Structure 1
Amino acid sequence: MKISGVIFDMDGTLLDSTEMWQGAAGRYIMSLRKTPASDLGAKTKAMTLDQLCSYLKSEYAIATTEEKIAKGFNTILREDYLASVDIKEYVPIILERFKQKGIAMCIATSTDKNIAGEILARLGIRDYFSHIVTCEEAGSGKEDPDVFIRAQQVLGTPKEETVVFEDGVLAVRGAKEAGFYVIAVADESEKENKEEIKKLADRYIESFEELM
């Protein structure tokens, strides 16, 4: 397969950040002196920021605007990113190899664009990506094809030559529905969905080392 472009998910694919990301909603709720449900992270992990804020406002009777909820959530998320998140092993090597081959790369993420750009810069890999495309911009979560289609359009590469790297079962399904070749990357947060992911994806890797 000829590869001209690559669309990377960020959390759980390039970064060891899924557990932190899923816990951010709970930490935000606790900051309001409320008790989050034990499965809050699982319920909200595939939501766009708008969907998440709407859900939190309704579910926890938060007496403020969704815009202020988003600001509070992103404040907690940014603090956690800058304090604890690291890159997955072999990612810098793979990114450099793709760059040397002239492959265009972008990010498709549920994370706020400014925060995503900041964490990628802190980890020294921001310049590998021409664009950061968010679910908020696409108007849908990763379970829908829209964010992947938007990412491919900004890359400007043919769909049949564009590969998507994802870790989540809903995102893998969305990328396949969009018509992309999908390489699924193992992540601890999706271990219960491993067999389904392997069936959905075109290829499944436990580590980026397998691509070296």
Structure 2
Amino acid sequence: MDKKYAIFDMDGTLVDSMSYWNNLAGEFLEGKGVAHVPREVIEKIKVMTITESAALFIEEFNLTGTPETVAAEMNAMMDEHYRRDIPLKSGVKEYLDSLHEKGVEMCVASATAEHLMEACLKRVGVMKYFKFLLSCETVGVGKHRADVYFEAAKRLQAKPCDTAVYEDAIYAASTAKKAGFYVIGVYDDSAKLRWKDIEVLADAVIKEF
């Protein structure tokens, strides 16, 4: 990677957390008395921020509360996992260290709330590599739009063409690509059915760090 700047996704890219997130909706809604979550709802929330997902749950399942309060409940469920047991992907620390040695300026842009990102990345020992953490919650929209990438690039004082975006999800990689960023696809088991699509779309790919 020969770019001066790098924007990393977190879940499924830096850390093995996607199985926790994939189970979150079911776990949360089960606690609210929802026995079955339709497949179309699960598909919709894949591209949403947690607050957007919360708003959908309120509408679909007549939950009480606001999108913000429901999102806070869901974040609280993930909080312990980020603080205790979500692991760093194999080889990530060494990879980040090599980029740091080259002088690459790095940040993280994720749909996950910033305080959860910080708790996890500090625990696994890689927070020091990143200038800042940026959540889609902060910019107000998920990665189906490029806002979070543009804001991250702005904070890095970088141009999209000089910036590598690391993503494991095809929809996010596609958004970054259309916005003019150099896209590096990262393999994750949660997205294995779309890996061939990522290989075609991305400028480069990483099967294992």
The normalised TM-score by structure 1 is 0.92
Deviation, 1:205, is 1.9
CA contact (8 A) 2:144 2:175 kept: yes
Query: Corresponding residue for 1:84?
Result: 85
After superposition, give the CA deviation of every residue in 1:50-107 in whole Å (9 maximum; x if it has no partner).
2111111111110222222011101101122234310001100011111111110000
Name the counterpart of 1:22. 22
1:8-53 Cα shifts (integer Å, max 9, x gaps): 0000000011111121122111122222416354431221122111
Q: Distance in 1 between matches of 2:194 and 2:138?
A: 27
Kindly report which structure 2 residues correspond to 1:194-209, keeping only aligned pairs within 5 A, or say none.
Answer: 194-208=195-209
Task: Provide structure 1 residue ranges, at least 5 long, that are not aligned to the other structure.
Answer: none
Q: CA RMSD in A?
A: 1.5
Partner amino acid, structure 2, of 1:168 = A
DSSP 3-state at the match of 1:99: helix
Mapped partners of 2:28, 2:189: distance in 1:
23
Equivalent in the alignment of 1:65 = 66
With over 3 angstroms needed to count, the CA separation of the structure-2 counterparts of 1:112 and 1:66, relative to structure 1, is same
Supply the distance in 2 between the matched residues of 1:153 and 1:31 (Cα, whole angstroms). Answer: 40
SS of 1:143 mapped into structure 2:
coil
Alignment of structure 1 residues 132-147 onto 2, 5 Å = 132-147=133-148
Counterpart code for 1:3:
K
Give the TM-score, by structure 2 length.
Answer: 0.94
In 2, distance between residues paired with 1:53 and 1:155? 31
Which whole-Å CA distance do the structure 1 matches of 2:10 and 2:181 have between them?
Answer: 17
* Residue 160 of structure 2: aligned partner: 159
**How do 1:103-182 residues align onto structure 2 when only pairs under 5 Å count?**
103-182=104-183
